[in-house]
Structure 1
């Protein structure tokens, strides 16, 4: 599906972007004025009304064009959004933040690029805390959790994909104004359901992207070192996974149960198993186990 600029939908059509006054459209020009500045990271911001996946589109554009680092693609609606392991999810138009960014961390060794999804999680959590007044916890490796009532629920996720030899596209999806009756699964959540003081997507998106610019700059200046940049310590402080018993569902239909005790220098989750062995997990699904 070819993305369409958010300003192209005619009044009165089923795609009318003013159809839900509680979910106003984003303004491309306002976002550009608020984010693009001389010497800053963000160079180009585009908003489309609907597309399959901002990550898919941005990776494809990076292959066709000489896109600058700091290109941002935002969608009002995604019809084929993907999470890890190609899981698909969808949300009503204008109910969340759905965007991808192109980064080219030339100064950072590729072996440290695995920290970018974790860095993005820290940046998103920081930005949402400042603007929405909602505490967002991080479930390793890429989930954003909020508390609804006394229940921990997933409100967003992060997906990173390579874009050529020197680029990486990081996509973010966050449920903002999703109502209880709109939840795709009972354990999903949104900022609104978590009691956000602000669900206006314009300042939320600007706050998240400014936070991402800040954290990415620190990490890049430190050569990707998660300790020197402060990223490793900050991630651990905001982690919902560390200190818990978890089950890691690994490639090859294997699983490992243990206590999550650390995130190591390569961004891997370290589990202390019942056999007294500490094992790093670099890929796989993590299930938080409730106490018996």
Structure 2
């Protein structure tokens, strides 16, 4: 997810729901009507104006028994959003989609749950392609990339956290209308800067959640077998990391440099090193993944 230090100016600016007419609020009632249905995955859609972290809030709700599988929590503004390794990030109110979902894939072996962030990436990319007309590539393991001026930019990210016994919360952050002067770093981007045909966040959220419901259903029906349900192939097709020489920085000051040649059946990135060794790297082990110098 894209880090950004929110200024007091941003907080003051977001005090009114209509303070920025180019960034209208989400329509919670319409989202519930469009997504919550009998027999469907999504059981509730709750939109809050501001929170620290939708992931933390939904984990707490799951622990308290006030949220079940398919609960969706969306924030118009996050003030303490987190990426991997507790990296902090925030963004202007209503400039993006900041949401978390609670899933309970009881019929899938826990060993295969590592595919869930990758599955979410595939679903988000497919949903945005249809709803925003933007090609979104995936940087293993959890970044969403768009092209801005011919350059790859990070427009969002995904974070998975365990939620008690048998549950996981998956958080998604997507920069939708972030402007050039609001970018936290030159390598950040947004759907608007990538030329999206639509930045209507209601439409985008519905498209992403419907895509996620579809992919989650396929994966769950296959018992979490990413090859059998087509997820492994779909992820590889959209993964911008494959075919590039990268440096994987691991705990203990260890690093592996090699060409990213595959994503294996466990969702690990396989690096072909200069010594002719193929070394798989798990998302839980990675500290940084960067282009090799």
TM-score by length of 1: 0.94
Q: Which residue of structure 2 lines up, in the alignment, with residue 183 of structure 1? A: 183
RMSD: 1.2
1:244–1:259 Cα contact (<8 Å) kept: yes
After superposition, residues 31-50 of structure 1 pair within 5 angstroms as 31-50=31-50
SS at match of 1:236: helix
Partner of 1:158: 158
SS at match of 1:217: helix
In 2, Cα distance between equivalents of 1:61 and 1:112:
24
Output the CA distance in 2 between the equivalents of 1:137 and 1:288: 16
Please state whether the residue corresponding to 2:77 is helix, strand or coil.
strand
Q: Structure 1, unaligned stretches of length 5 or more?
A: 1-11
* Alignment partner, residue 136 of structure 1: 136
Distance 1:144 1:61 in 2: 27
Matches within 5 A, 1:64-83: 64-83=64-83
Q: Matched residue pairs, number?
A: 279
Give TM-score, length-normalised by structure 2: 0.93
* 1:66 to partner: Cα distance: 4.8
1:29 paired to 2:32: no
1:91 aligns with 2:94: no
Give, in whole Å, the separation in 2 of the partners of 1:189 and 1:13: 22
Q: 1:198 to 1:228 in 2, by over 3 A?
A: same
**Which consecutive unaligned segments of at least 5 residues does structure 2 have?**
1-11
* Aligned match of 2:7: none
Matches within 5 A, 1:188-267: 188-267=188-267
* 2:289 alignment partner, one of 264, 286, 289: 286
Q: Equivalent residue of 2:147, what SS?
A: strand
Q: Report what 1:114 is aligned to.
A: 114
State the Cα distance separating 1:23 from its structure 2 match.
0.3
Tell me how far 1:206 sits from its aligned partner: 0.3
Query: The residue matched to 1:50 in structure 2 has which SS?
Result: coil
Does the Cα contact within 8 Å between 2:257 and 2:292 map onto a contact in 1? no
TM-aligned CA deviation for residue 64 of structure 1: 1.0
Shift in Å, 1:197: 0.4
1:146-205 Cα deviation digits (max 9, x unpaired): 010111110000000000110000000000000000001111000000000000000000
- Partner of 1:237, secondary structure, is helix
Per-residue CA deviations over 1:211-255 (Å, capped at 9, x if unaligned) read 000000000000000001100000000000001000101112211
Q: Deviations over 1:10-30 (max 9, x none)?
A: xx9961111101000001101
